[in-house]
Amino acid sequence: MQVVKEQIMRALTTKPSSLDQFKSKLQNLSYTEILKIRQSERMNQEDFQSRPILELKEKIQPEILELIKQQRLNRLVEGTCFRKLNSRRRQDKFWYCRLSPNHKVLHYGDLEESPQGEVPHDSLQDKCNDWRRNMWQRSFLLL
């Protein structure tokens, strides 16, 4: 009932000039839209800008960023298979890429079929030793 009341109140604050405009405003203010507005308003309240919360956020942010970095590196070590497009836009081959466990070498190569499980480093023909210097590494591993 509170959501309906809020829908009506918000629609009326726009001062619609006709009943059709009012109905249109009500349709735009769906239940999910009202929930989004409420969430946004709660986030803007002073409680989330208070000194203790800001200090906590500042204290845990480096730890969180390190955790994100480690998760991304672990995902690279696991490896990923991509579909490879040929000149006719057919996706009949695969390309696999994975990072060595010591995080120093990026192994990659073509595969004829999608792998089931991990692909050993030895079966990947190509490798890149200076992958950390590449620009994509900064954007992928750092926020």
Does pLDDT of 137 surpass 60? no
**C-alpha torsion 34→38→41→45, nearest 10:** 170
Interatomic CA distance for residues 48 and 130, integer angstroms:
43
| Mean pLDDT of all residues in 122-127 | 73
Higher pLDDT, residue 45 or 28:
28
Does pLDDT of 132 surpass 80? no
Q: Which residues of 94-122 are buried (b: 16+ CB within 10 A; e: fewer)?
A: bebbbbeeeeeebbbbebeeeeeeebeee
pLDDT band of residue 135 (cuts 50, 70, 90) is very low
82-103 pLDDT, tens digit per residue, is 887 776 766 677 888 888 888 8
Does pLDDT of 143 surpass 50? no
Q: What is the mean pLDDT of the chain?
A: 78
34-87 pLDDT, tens digit per residue, is 888 888 887 777 667 778 888 998 999 999 999 998 998 899 888 888 887 776
1-14 pLDDT, tens digit per residue, is 787 888 888 788 87
